[in-house]
């Protein structure tokens, strides 16, 4: 096994996801298959090949440092489930 149920549960928790028992079984098995496939990819000799993060060879997509109008406050808050005044309101979190 490439991944344990405990690890799957840990990752699920980090993503704030909760699963039923049978889902846990299924996802553990699926993730295991994916990681086994990664092992297959890893068997290719990539000595001297730089890692790539994109399929396109594109560099330096920049914008200039120019300010453009932002959304109005009420637009920014329009999708918020619980706005208060000019703010988003959330349950209190203390670090």
Partner 1 sequence: MEFEPVIGLEVHAQLRTDSKIFCSCSTQFGAGPNTHTCPVCLGMPGVLPVLNRKVVEYTIKMALATHCRINRENSFARKNYFYPDLPKGYQISQYAYPLAEEGGIEVEVEGGKRRIGITRIHMEEDAGKLIHDEHFPSSYVDLNRTGVPLIEIVSEPDIRSAEEAADYLRRIHEILVYLEICDGNMEEGSFRCDANVSLRPRGQEEFGTRAELKNMNSFRNVQRALEYEIKRQQYVLEAGGEVVQETRLWDDAQGVTIPMRSKEEAHDYRYFPDPDLVTIAVSDAWIEEIRGTMPELPLEKRERFLRDYQIPPYDAGVLTTSRALADYYEEVVRLCGQPKVASNWVMGDILRFLKEDKRDIRDCPISAAALAEMIRLIEDGAISGKMAKEVSEEMYRTGKPPQTVIAEKGLVQITDEGALAAVIEQIMAANPTQLAQYRGGKDKLFGFFVGQVMKATQGKANPQLINDLLKKMLA
Binding site for partner 1 (CB under 8 A): 10-11, 13-14, 16, 53-54, 56, 58-68, 70-73, 76-77, 84-95
Q: In angstroms, what is the minimal distance from the CB of 8 to partner 1?
A: 14
Closer residue to partner 1, CB minimum distance, 13 or 26: 13
**DSSP bridge partners of 84:** 87
Output the smallest distance, CB 34 to partner 1, in A: 15
Contact 32, 2 (CB under 8 A): yes
Q: Which is nearer to partner 1, 5 or 89 (CB)?
A: 89
Provide the minimum distance between the beta carbon of 91 and partner 1 in the complex, in angstroms, as a whole number: 6
Return the ∠ at Cα 36 (arms to 35 and 38), rounded to 5°: 60
Task: Output the CA torsion sign for 80, 81, 84, 90.
Answer: negative
Backbone torsion region of residue 16, taken as left when φ is above 0, otherwise alpha when ψ lies between -120 and 50, otherwise beta = left
43 vs 75, beta carbon nearer partner 1:
75
């Amino acid at each position: 096994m490439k991944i344990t149920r405990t690890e799957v549960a840990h990752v699920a928790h980090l993503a704030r996801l909760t699963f039923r028992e049978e889902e846990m079984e299924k996802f553990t098995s699926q993730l295991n298959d994916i990681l086994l496939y990664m092992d297959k990819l890893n068997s290719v000799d990539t000595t001297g090949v730089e890692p790539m993060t994109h399929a396109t060879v594109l560099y330096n997509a920049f914008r200039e440092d120019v300010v453009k109008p932002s959304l109005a406050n009420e637009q920014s808050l329009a999708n918020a489930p619980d706005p208060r005044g000019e703010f988003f309101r959330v349950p209190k979190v203390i670090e």
